[in-house]
Amino acid sequence: MGLGNDLLGAKTDAGLGRSRSIWDVLHLDPILLFLIVTLVGGGLFVLYSGADRNIDVVKAQGIRLAVAFGVMLVFAQLDPAVFRRWSPWLYALGLAGLVAVLLVGVGAKGAQRWLAIPGLPRFQPSELMKLVVPMMAAWYLSRYFLPPTLGRVMVGLFIVLLPMFLIVQQPDLGTSLLVGAAGIFVVFFAGMSWKLIAAFFGAVSVSAPLMWFFVMREYQKQRVLTLLDPQSDPLGAGWNIIQSKTAIGSGGMDGKGWLQGTQSHLEFLPESHTDFIVAVLAEEFGFVGMMLLMAVYFLIILRCLYIAVSAQDSYARLLAGALTMTFFIYIFVNVGMVSGLLPVVGVPLPLISYGGTSGVTLMAAFGVLMSIHTHRRMITA
């Protein structure tokens, strides 16, 4: 418990003999809640600018976030034991959904991502898998002693790779990456040996060329090529990267000021209110703004890791740790892609980019974390 206590304090720990606070009743973690509200509130301001002062976009996003908040609240009420019990069934349901998407899914632009079941709202099973895959991996690995044996690590990896493979087929590289990350972090937290990790990275570096030639679609290859040399196609695929780097770089130390970003407001920056919104923030609030954003994200991660560390059983720990790291992967991949470090994959900036689905999943994950933190029983030593 040495980690985090000194940094963030443990004043919300619900101990026996202390009167139950309002937070205990609501099963919410006030520190995490405060950080999320700060992030979301600031994000709406950036969104207003990124959407070129379209207040309707901000309102729609506000409604989505409110729904997501509701989802978080519901998840927070459930006992982690419930998640654990449901894990295999949800996983099976998720796999069935992914297969169904490939068979009868709907979508656009050459990708099938949605499942339209009459009577239900359209949804993406792959989005669900961001939660379910770490749950399943945590369920499986936490049944046995940790660290897991080699065989169980392999089973755990299989649990992760199967849905990843199905999602890549849609094709949806970004989501598959996040689902995979979520699952693999579970295996890592469970104690997968460092030798295996080294071997895993070795295998990845070998399989990358194979992926290039046999798995990756043409548009994905194009994205990678464009990343390596955006100038090679300045009017086509490279346009996005050149414009977003220009937006970020021209922001300078203090930025151009809120609503003053020329790159975004003059429509040079594509996707300025969705995947590329961080470029708007960087352009208008400069390096100072980026440091603030990163600080808020870092505090959220820190708090979540603290929640994970202080969780009471392995299932909860593994799940909380993996969800936290998935949240970080969102941030890293999005900012890395917008700043030209990583290829352009469709990963939004968590809780700031416009768009509903990922927001709901993220808030659900925070709900799980809060559930884990607020359902601890002071029974073990």
- Residues whose CB falls within 8 Å of the CB of residue 214, separated by 6 or more in sequence, listed in order: none
Does 262 bind another protein (CB under 8 A)? Our answer is yes
Secondary structure (DSSP) of 197-227: HHHHHHHHHHHHHHIIIII--HHHHHHHHHH
Q: Which two tokens stand for residue 7?
A: 């940094």
| 274, 355 contact by CB (below 8 A) | yes
Helix/strand/coil (H, E, C) string of 236-300?
CCHHHHHHHHHHHHHHCCCCCCCCCCHHHHCCCCCCCCCCCHHHHHHHHHHHHHHHHHHHHHHHH
For another protein, the closer of residues 124 and 272 by Cβ is 272
Q: Which two tokens stand for residue 280?
A: 């708007």
Say which residue the tokens 């090529």 belong to. Answer: 225
Quick one: which of 83, 114, 297, 366 contacts another protein (CB under 8 A)?
Answer: 297
For another protein, the closer of residues 168 and 265 by Cβ is 265
Quick one: which of 68, 177, 299, 318 contacts another protein (CB under 8 A)?
Answer: 318
Does 294 bind another protein (CB under 8 A)? Our answer is yes
Does 231 bind another protein (CB under 8 A)? Our answer is no
Does 352 bind another protein (CB under 8 A)? Our answer is no
The rounded distance, in Å, linking the Cα atoms of 278 and 27 is: 32
Quick one: which of 23, 237, 268, 296 contacts another protein (CB under 8 A)?
Answer: 268
Judged by CB under 8 A, the stretch of 11-19, 85-93, 127-135, 318-326 that binds another protein is 318-326
Judged by CB under 8 A, the stretch of 53-61, 93-101, 310-318, 344-352 that binds another protein is 310-318
Quick one: which of 48, 75, 83, 328 contacts another protein (CB under 8 A)?
Answer: 328
Does 266 bind another protein (CB under 8 A)? Our answer is yes
| 73, 26 contact by CB (below 8 A) | yes
Kindly provide the residue ranges of all beta strands, DSSP E only, lying in 71-192, ordered along the sequence: 106-108, 111-114
Does 199 bind another protein (CB under 8 A)? Our answer is no
Quick one: which of 25, 120, 235, 379 contacts another protein (CB under 8 A)?
Answer: 235
Does 146 bind another protein (CB under 8 A)? Our answer is yes
The rounded distance, in Å, linking the Cα atoms of 195 and 207 is: 18
Quick one: which of 317, 373, 375, 376 contacts another protein (CB under 8 A)?
Answer: 317
For another protein, the closer of residues 145 and 212 by Cβ is 145
The rounded distance, in Å, linking the Cα atoms of 93 and 187 is: 22
Residue 49 dihedral angles phi and psi, to the nearest 5°: -75, -45
Q: Which of 95, 92, 113 is nearest to 104 (CA)?
A: 113
Which residues are near another protein by CB under 8 A? 2-3, 142-147, 185, 188-189, 191, 235, 239, 242-243, 245-253, 262-263, 265-268, 282, 286-287, 290-291, 294, 297-298, 301-302, 305, 308-309, 313-314, 317-318, 321, 324-325, 328, 331-332, 335-336, 339, 341, 380
